[in-house]
Structure 1
Amino acid sequence: MDETPAHPVPPSVRAQVLATEHWSLLATRSMTWSEVMSRITIHLTVTSASLVVLALVAQATGFGTGFRVMAIGLAAYSLVLGTLTAVRVHNASHDDAAMVIGMNLLRAAYLELDPGIAPFLVAGTTGDRAGLMRTYLMGSRRSTFSHVVASTVMFMNAVNTMVAGTLGALVAYAVGAGTVGTTVAGVLAAVAHLGAMVEWGRRTFGVDPPRAGPGGVP
């Protein structure tokens, strides 16, 4: 039995399908970072409110045992909330990289339809790490170091590091450590937390970026 040959898909239909997928990825990126920024705002609001509460307690009761207990509790709560928020930011950043690579591959498909648009594309068109960074840096020559240091992930790490150091110093002071011991405990807690988060981030983004294979499956 003869099979009816499949008709080739017109370029206009291919372009429409590709554009639909492109806008879907853009919408997903927008919703993801909107949710992440809301989480960060909540975290910073809670941390700021904790400082206000401690100031009011200090005015009412002084810096006695009650104040120290509340300070440790609020610092621990803020650190847990901040760490969970940082984990969400890390995950969102990884998902964002996958979506950026997806859009790079879509641009490659646009180039197949019309190679003449190549000079007008600023973002990357490949699914490798170079294409990923080209899109993130928008073709500029600025250092990736400044891009990483100024990222949302590092912002959260900086906030959480300060909270972790404060918590370590508060606990050391509560158990009777002197000035030197309190300072050392705070520094060690801050360095330990920052080191753990940076190492986790390095392991997360040190792997090869996801690529689309047959059928669009990474």
Structure 2
Amino acid sequence: MSTQDGGTSDQHGAVPASVRAQLLATEHWGLLASRSTAQGEVLTRISMFLNFTSASLVSVALVGQATGFSDVFVLLAVVILFIDVAIGLLTQLRVMNVAHEDLMYVTAMNRLRAAYVDLDPGVAPYLMAAHHDDEAGSRQTYYFFGGRGSFSHVAGSSMIFMATANAALIAILSGLLVTLAGAGMAAAIVAGAACGAGFLGVAAVKGYRGYRDVWRRFAPLSPTPPRDRE
């Protein structure tokens, strides 16, 4: 059906294709802005955590030198480490939330590209980012050239970085508490290593399950054809 501005309407009603393209582009820009804001915010949070942790550990070292590493120093070290761990866990939680939000934005933009292809199938070969709103499509959008394994993507993520940093803090705090309980250095090292490794393992498993749950609950509108899946 022809329209006054030269566009054509479709089965969705009397809205011209040009207007639909403008609406889709507006939504696309909104998603891009939201994604950039979330990424910038989480990077700032990580920087704040690292700065706070560095400053607090330097402060503990200075107090230790000033007090001759007395009982006051030990008490201060325990309190500071508890605060560092608490801030680290809160930062890690935000990093995990932003990771899910980033996947949400990527999937939403993939769905919009599918709408672009519906309007003009000829643009499909020029889109390096995927126009399929499923897991395979999200992987293509995260890395256009394909072939990169999931391990590389996960191991280099901010979530694993934060989990590793928190695991180190938890290991140090656990070892210190075991030492204060009267155990020897060997027991403190073993306890610290076990607590740190255990936390890192739990964080990794929880993150993976959260990622899998997203795709189990989500119903794509334009899934990747079987022949194009990796």
Q: Closer, same or farther in 2 for the Cα pair 1:179/1:7, shift >3 Å? A: closer
Match of 1:54 among 57, 60, 63: 60
Match of 2:152 among 146, 154, 162: 146
Question: Quick check: 1:123–1:135 contact (8 Å CA) kept in 2?
Answer: yes
> What is the rounded CA distance, in whole Å, between the counterparts of 1:194 and 1:85 in structure 2?
15
TM-fit CA distance, 1:86: 0.4
Match of 1:181 among 184, 187, 204: 187
Match of 2:123 among 109, 117, 122: 117
Q: Closer, same or farther in 2 for the Cα pair 1:75/1:117, shift >3 Å? A: same
> What is the rounded CA distance, in whole Å, between the counterparts of 2:53 and 2:182 in structure 1?
26
2:40 corresponds in structure 1 to 34
- Show structure 1 runs of 4+ deviating over 2 A: 208-213
TM-fit CA distance, 1:211: 4.3
1:216 corresponds in structure 2 to none
TM-fit CA distance, 1:144: 2.0
TM-fit CA distance, 1:48: 0.4
The SS at the match of 2:59 is helix
TM-fit CA distance, 1:174: 1.1
**Structure 1 residues 1-218: aligned runs within 5 Å:** 8-209=14-215, 210-211=218-219
> What is the rounded CA distance, in whole Å, between the counterparts of 1:182 and 1:7 in structure 2?
71
Structure 1: gaps spanning 5 or more residues? 1-5, 214-218
> What is the rounded CA distance, in whole Å, between the counterparts of 1:85 and 1:211 in structure 2?
30
TM-fit CA distance, 1:212: 6.1
TM-fit CA distance, 1:95: 1.3
> What is the rounded CA distance, in whole Å, between the counterparts of 1:83 and 1:8 in structure 2?
52
- Aligned residue identity for 1:146: S
> What is the rounded CA distance, in whole Å, between the counterparts of 2:13 and 2:97 in structure 1?
42
Structure 2: gaps spanning 5 or more residues? 1-11, 222-230
CA RMSD of aligned residues (A): 1.5
> What is the rounded CA distance, in whole Å, between the counterparts of 1:45 and 1:158 in structure 2?
16
Between the two proteins, the alignment pairs up a number of residues equal to 208
Question: Quick check: 1:123–1:139 contact (8 Å CA) kept in 2?
Answer: no
- Aligned residue identity for 1:188: A
TM-fit CA distance, 1:59: 1.3
> What is the rounded CA distance, in whole Å, between the counterparts of 2:109 and 2:39 in structure 1?
17
- Aligned residue identity for 1:169: G
Q: Closer, same or farther in 2 for the Cα pair 1:7/1:175, shift >3 Å? A: closer
TM-score in terms of structure 1 length:
0.91
TM-fit CA distance, 1:74: 0.9
Of residues 135-144 and 97-106 in structure 1, the stretch that sits farther from structure 2 once superposed is 135-144
- Aligned residue identity for 1:180: A
> What is the rounded CA distance, in whole Å, between the counterparts of 1:44 and 1:126 in structure 2?
37
> What is the rounded CA distance, in whole Å, between the counterparts of 2:43 and 2:122 in structure 1?
38
1:3 corresponds in structure 2 to none
> What is the rounded CA distance, in whole Å, between the counterparts of 1:204 and 1:114 in structure 2?
36
Q: Closer, same or farther in 2 for the Cα pair 1:134/1:109, shift >3 Å? A: same
Q: Closer, same or farther in 2 for the Cα pair 1:63/1:35, shift >3 Å? A: same
